[in-house]
Structure 1
Amino acid sequence: MDSQLTLVPVAPAVRLMFSKDSMKNATLFLDSVPIYVISTDAQNACTELRAAGSGGGELLARITRKEILPDAVAFPALNGGKEIRLAKWLKKSKLADGSSTHVINTFTVHGTFFLMAHPVHRLALFQEDDLQKPIAQWERVNGTGTSSPPIIVIEAGPWEVESLRPCIIAAFIVQEFKMRMKEQAGSVTLAMGRPAGQFVLMSAAK
């Protein structure tokens, strides 16, 4: 009797498209349907990720920036909803080869993730046991750089569950905003070294 090989269809990656190029205020779309909303207050003290919907939607993540105490993050569906220091959740570390990374505690059986700068995707997220193939990354366009507005691509896998999406999104928006702030500071430094009479118009990091 001939054996038959059953092909299991591979689930497509999830593409979360931002409504605009901002890590502070944007709507995220999945297949053209609004699914998440990122909002930041006027004082830039709190950024929330909520499910899209009327009445503000369910709170999925909150990033709190404090003047005296350390910045914090909380996920209602993870860690019992308890607030944790941002630097402890998104912890700076070094890999064996000396490269920099941020270790993310997922508070789940999926263990820890590694978020790091990437030469192709700008930012990419990896599982602890596979630092070669990203499980999430910024999407590239025409091989020249990330898309604008940005798109987070989350590959199919056991980590692609509703409870972990807010964790992944929060990690990307926090680290991307930090990178933009650092790049802006570098641009200001370069501008200050220009000859007298030359001016550069700078915009605030988004």
Structure 2
Amino acid sequence: MCLFLTANIVAQTTTSGNTPQRPAQRAYANTGGGILIAPIPDQVYMGAPYMPEPIIRDGNKTLIKNKDYVVTYTNNINVGIAIVTISGRGNYRDSKDIRFNIIPKSVNQVSVTPVSDQTFRNSQITPELQLVDNGRPLKQGIDYTLSYTNNLNVGIASVTITGRGNYRDTRTLNFKIVAKSISFSGATTAPTRQENKPATNQQQQQQQKPKPKPRPVRR
């Protein structure tokens, strides 16, 4: 039996007032001969391969993986369009590619180490952040970028995380810049001025004692 041709059937739900709602997307690609394949919804990036199992029906029968068909996956890790290739086997033949989207994950859903208080240093303070997604450290410049505001003087500074690549959205964290102590190590003091004290009796006697005359040198 030929497994794949194309057509679309979309089921739509309504409210109790018969006002049409957005389609529920319980749609199947009618591939001919009663073969229907359920669409694969968007998947949020998780840093590992996505391998969604397609649902395939032949009339009232649900096909069995590895008996009626096998699947392979392409581009199913990073953000973009992933492909599930369904290949018939046994009573079914031919193949069909089903595409689904892997969409970026919000940076608000990853762990971020808080920024500790920073001491004023008379230059812009740009502390590094540690972002972790399910145990996997994110890389600055690849997964996110950082920008800083009010990060020079004492007060409340902020750092903004902007997702890129497999991540999206922005996230802002605040941190404190605290005053630097005026004291410093290795301080020196001016030498104290010594006062002239009167000489003691012993010092006066030593000063008045005549010095011995040098002895003549014999030749």
Q: TM-score, normalised by structure 2?
A: 0.28
Q: Which has the higher helix share?
A: 1
Q: Which one has the largest radius of gyration? A: 2
Q: TM-score, normalised by structure 1?
A: 0.30
Structure with the greater relative contact order (CA < 8 A, sep ≥ 6): 1 or 2?
1
